[in-house]
Structures are given as C-alpha cells and as structure tokens.
Amino acid sequence: MVFSSYVFIFAFLPLTLLGFYLLPRLIASGGKLRYAQNLLLIAASLVFYGYYNVYYLFIIIVSILVNYTLALAMQRCSLRRPALEKLCFILGIAFNIFLIGYFKYYDFFIENINFVFGSSFTLKHLLLPLGISFFTFQQLSFLVSVYKKEEEVENFVSYCIFVLFFPQLVAGPIVLYSEMIPQFNDESRSRFDSDNMASGVYMFCIGLFKKAVIADTLALFVDNGFAQDSLGLAAAWAASLSYTLQIYFDFSGYSDMAIGLGRMFNIDIPYNFLSPYKSESFSELWRRWHITLGRALSTYIYIPLGGSRRGRARTFFNTFLTFLVSGLWHGAAWTFVLWGSIHGLFVALEKTFPRLREKLPRWLRIACTFILVNALWVLFRAESFSQAAMVYRGMLSFSSLGLSQIASLALDNSFDFPTSVDIAYLFSLLAVLLFVVFRCRNSRQRLENFSCTGKSLAFCLFLFCFSVLHLSRESIFIYFNF
C-alpha cells in the first residue's frame, strides 16, 4: 500500500487510528494496553505490507523470525558461550546478506558472470520484495548492536513493531532499536494527543503534496525525457532537472509523511532530509540527504573501517568505499555503483583538501554542488550507461537548443497542447520548484514552527484537497525499489 492512495488515506489510516485510540477505552492503563496497541500496529503493518502482494509477507516474516531468534540466542550465549554467540552473529550477517543478495543482486551477479566468462546462466527475474534493503539493513544494524552489547533483545512483539511499524517500513527512515522501542513501551504515548495529531496531519499533508502533486507531475517529464533516442540541450537539462527535483520531492515527501504518521501515533521518527540542495559541498549534502542512511553507513561501515583516525590516505579510501557500498545498496547495477563511487570521490576529495572550496563564494559553492549532483542523478535514473550517455550528450550539446522537443517531455496522451504552452508550462514549473528548493523553509522548519492558526489550517486544507485530486494517478515511491 502506498501513503498517497485513496485506500490508505480514506480507509486504512482512519481505521487504524480509530482502533489504536479506542484501545485505551477498552483496556485499563498498564503494560497490557501498550502491548495491545503494539499488536494492533503490527497487524495493521502486515496488512499494509501485504496489500499488493501477499508473497512479500512470507519473506518479511521469515526475515523477522530468523533475525529475532539469532539475536536472542546471541544475548543468551553472550556470557557463558562467546563462541556460540559469535557463530550466531556470523549466521545472522550471512542470512541477511543471503536474503538481500538473492532477491536483489542475484541477476546482477549472474549477468556479470555471463558477461565475463561468456556463460549463459539463466536469470531469475525475481520480484524484489518492497523495501527489502530497508528492513534488512535495519535488522543487520540491530544484530551488530546486540553483538556489541549496545542493545538488549526484548520480547518478540517489541522486535516486530521495530521492524514492521508501517510509517517507516518500506522506505525508512532507517531507525534504531534504542530510539523506537522506548517510545513503543511508553504508556504516556498511548492516549490521543491533539497536539501531536494536528502537527502529524500537517506534516503528512506537506509530504502528500510533495509526492502526489509535485513528484508525480515531474515523473511524466522524466519518463518521457529518458525514453527519447536523443535529447537537445533544453530537453536534456529539463529532463535531468526534473529528475533531480522529482527524487527529492518523492523521497522527502515520503519521509515527511512517515514523520507525520508517526506523530499521529505519538511516535517520533527521525528526520531524513534537511534542504539537501542548499548544501555547499558533497559532504554537507550527505548530512542533509537521507540522513538516517548516512548515519547507518557511518556507524556500520565507515567507522569500523577506521573512519578518519588512520591518516589521510585511509580516510580517503574509507570514505570512497562507504559510498561505493551506498551506491550498491541503492540498486543492483553498475550505474548505481558508479554513482556512489563518484559521490564518494567528491566527499573524499573534500575531506582530503578541505581548504580548496573555501576560496569560492558561498553561492557558487551551492551552485557547483547542485549542478554536479544534478548530473550524477542522471546516472542514478538511467537504466543503462548508454541511456545516461544520451542524456549527457544532450546536456552538453550547446549547438542545438532543441526547445521544440520540450513538447515530447510534456506529452501525456490526453491533450495535445501547442509547443509554446508546453515550454512555458514546463519551465515555469521547474523555476517555481527550484525557488521552493533553494529559498523556502523546509518541512522540518515548518513543523517546528507549526501552530494551530487559521492560516496553517487553510494551508493544510489546500495541500490535502489538492493532493487528493492527484491520487488517481497513484504511483509507488522511487525508494520502494531500493
């Protein structure tokens, strides 16, 4: 199920909220109430996850059972049988790597084997279970924390709600056991809190608008643009900028909705975005973009590799490797690996030569970072290197402006508007969105400044109603594929 759908907004969410806040009327305060609420959220999350494909449920349930059993075994063996504890840990890591490797990387691996050795092993074309990268990563991080004695395994229900909580199940934010479970056990969070509900609704509406209205409108330009055989200068830049904006509004919209939904259930979910395109450098970008992934990669890859404590060369290597893994985490294709590697290279260079960019004025640093990030998103979006090369050729074809091609980007098969209208529409939309990205307050600032006024009510109503009018073109979130 996706947040930006009629069924979620008008059926699933109201029913789940109703059930959640009716429980305190049925069950007296105490541990049982919170337990029952968590059970209800688990049941709702399973419905949410299995809505489109029941087969997904089987995979996630097996993943939870195996990880929980191993974590529990590790904890019980930790004092008396450290060797067994280590074995369980290794088994856990292997299981998760196998799970994600099988579903996500099997075909990639076989394709490369076939390419290198000229063999013809059959590809499986497996259906990628929704959000497998997210829930596998989250559970891996939990196993590591238990092994390092940073976390303690509680009961099975707590573990299930940690993995399954539907607002962040499919595309994050990637949360830590220690920041979520105390909240799920906190009885003071069991009753309806109108402050939380109002701010949650507000944040959800902002995210819904970002996704349903903005990102899905941009998706048309992107899909049409990347499907062309060749692009002129204007169309190539329009397509790449559209994707840069689409992926931001899509993913940050999802994260805003997750945070808003969390608040509706009195749960604080960490922020995942902080105006990333306002960054002056790649290092800053990754502190503002998909913040919880950066946190996890830093904790579980960069720091264990030695971080920045072992000299410049090692810092360079550690940074590069962390981003290479990040690229591979995003997708099983060399385009993703290259995308991650180049990001890693830029971050590593910034760390190695920190004074280099300081000579540039701030606005130029932001512009340079944005243009480079925009160019790299082409690699991320492209289905192949040749498709990326096609877009890059267009972005550099200064001899042909190709304005008329803009019409093919805006083509949606329902109306055939004059080219001039398409050009005006597309560029004015991009201009407005760039203004929003660079000049307006971000969702976090809006949420922190939220107050229950007529103005915020009108704003929220507009966002909600206008978004609802866009739900019929329901589409999944880009990050559902990762």
Report the catalytic residues.
330
Q: Closer to other proteins at the Cβ: 6 or 353?
A: 6
Q: For residue 455, count other CB atoms closer than 10 A to its CB.
A: 9
Site string for other proteins, 7-46 (x = CB under 8 A): ---x------------------------------------
Q: Closer to other proteins at the Cβ: 122 or 449?
A: 449
What is the spatial distance between Cα 141 and Cα 143, in angstroms, rounded to a whole number? 5
Q: Quick check: 40 and 159 in contact, CB under 8 A? A: no
Q: For residue 62, count other CB atoms closer than 10 A to its CB.
A: 12
In the list 78, 446, 470, 475, the residue contacting other proteins (rule: CB under 8 A) is: 470
Q: Quick check: 153 and 71 in contact, CB under 8 A? A: yes
Of 158-166, 195-203, 230-238, 437-445, the window that binds other proteins (rule: CB under 8 A) is 195-203
Rg (C-alpha) for the chain, rounded Å, is 23
By the rule CB under 8 A, 469 interacts with other proteins: yes
Q: Quick check: 174 and 138 in contact, CB under 8 A? A: yes
In the list 194, 229, 359, 399, the residue contacting other proteins (rule: CB under 8 A) is: 194
By the rule CB under 8 A, 195 interacts with other proteins: yes
By the rule CB under 8 A, 359 interacts with other proteins: no
What are φ and ψ of residue 404, in 5° steps?
-65, -20
Q: Count the residues of the shown chain that bind other proteins, applying the rule CB under 8 A.
A: 28
In the list 201, 321, 325, 411, the residue contacting other proteins (rule: CB under 8 A) is: 201
Which residues within the stretch 398-417 sit at the binding site for other proteins (CB under 8 A)? 414-415
- Following DSSP, what letter does each residue of 383-451 receive, concatenated? SSHHHHHHHHHHHT-TT---GGGHHHHH--SS----HHHHHHHHHHHHHHHHHHHHHS--HHHHHHT--
Of 72-80, 230-238, 358-366, 471-479, the window that binds other proteins (rule: CB under 8 A) is 471-479
Of 173-181, 273-281, 359-367, 464-472, the window that binds other proteins (rule: CB under 8 A) is 464-472
Shortest Å distance, C-beta 289 to other proteins: 29
As separate numbers, helices (DSSP H) first and strands (DSSP E) second, the chain gives 22, 0
Peptide bond into 173 cis (omega under 30): yes
Amino acid at 249: F
By the rule CB under 8 A, 160 interacts with other proteins: no
- Report which secondary-structure segment, H or E, holds 144: helix 132-147
Q: Closer to other proteins at the Cβ: 386 or 451?
A: 451
In the list 464, 477, 479, 482, the residue contacting other proteins (rule: CB under 8 A) is: 464
By the rule CB under 8 A, 465 interacts with other proteins: yes
Closest C-alpha to 423, from 437, 439, 409: 409
Q: Which residues bind other proteins (CB under 8 A)?
A: 6, 10, 194-195, 197-199, 201, 414-415, 449, 451-457, 460-461, 464-465, 468-473
